Copies of this chain bind each other. A is one copy, B any other.
Amino acid sequence: MTLLAQLHLHLPPWIHDEVDAQRDYRSPADKIALAIDLSRRNIRHGSGGPFGAAVFDPAHRLVGVGVNRVVPTACSLAHAEMMAFATSQQRTQRYRLNEAGGRWTLATSSQPCAMCYGALFWAGIDDLLIGARASDVQSLAAFDEGPLPTDWQGELQARGIAVQADLARESACDVLRAYGSGGHVY
């Protein structure tokens, strides 16, 4: 077989038209609302699973976004959080986003799965904002989240990553529920 040496992943084109990259996303509520909005738009456009994420710099500016692209790109790595990390790192040309200082934030519409959880430790994130819980993802949309350390929040905090969970949880759950029922969200 021929080995591939190139990997090319892409977000859907609607992010350029539908995401306001110039806005100030000052509060945790502003940030999580964008992540949930991305998850909603992703199922509305049929461009992937019901998950959205966004990275913000210390000045609360939007640096990168991600939506789930596993099926369209045939790549199991293409979860929303991973796409947000990677596009933000390409944008800044830093593999550890916070290496130049300040607090960097990831907002994600649902609790990170086992892979995205592990990725958090290397991406250079200081604040993690979460909408729906893993149990919501499982019960409403039937996605497996994988095994985590028993005290997963404590492990993050021990390494300097602060966690705020259950932010706009009901709004995040509405998207999961719509996806799980095979419906659409408008």
Contacts and interface: CB of A to CB of B under 8 A. Distances in A.
A3 interface: yes
B146 A148 contact: no
A146 B4 CA distance: 29
Contacts of A76: 85-86, 89, 95-96, 119, 122-124
A87 B9 CA distance: 11
A1 to B, nearest CB: 6
Please give me the 3 A-B residue pairs with the lowest Cβ-Cβ distance, nearest first. A114-B118, A115-B118, A76-B122
A10 B7 contact: yes
Contacts of A149: 147-150
Given A1-B63, A3-B65, A7-B90, A119 B115 contact: yes
A15 interface: yes
Nearest to A10: B6
Interface of A: 1-13, 15-16, 19, 21-22, 61-65, 70-71, 73-78, 82-83, 85-87, 89-96, 113-119, 121-124, 144, 146-150, 152, 155
A115 B116 CA distance: 7
Contacts of A146: 118, 121-122
Copies in the complex: 2
Nearest to A5: B11
B150 A4 contact: no
A116 B7 CA distance: 17
Scoring A62, A121, A150, A152 by chain B CB atoms within 10 A of each residue's CB, the highest score goes to A121
A144 B117 CA distance: 15
Contact of A13 (B2, B5, B121, B122): B5
B77 A77 contact: yes
A111 to B, nearest CB: 13
B64 A3 contact: yes
Nearest to A78: B95
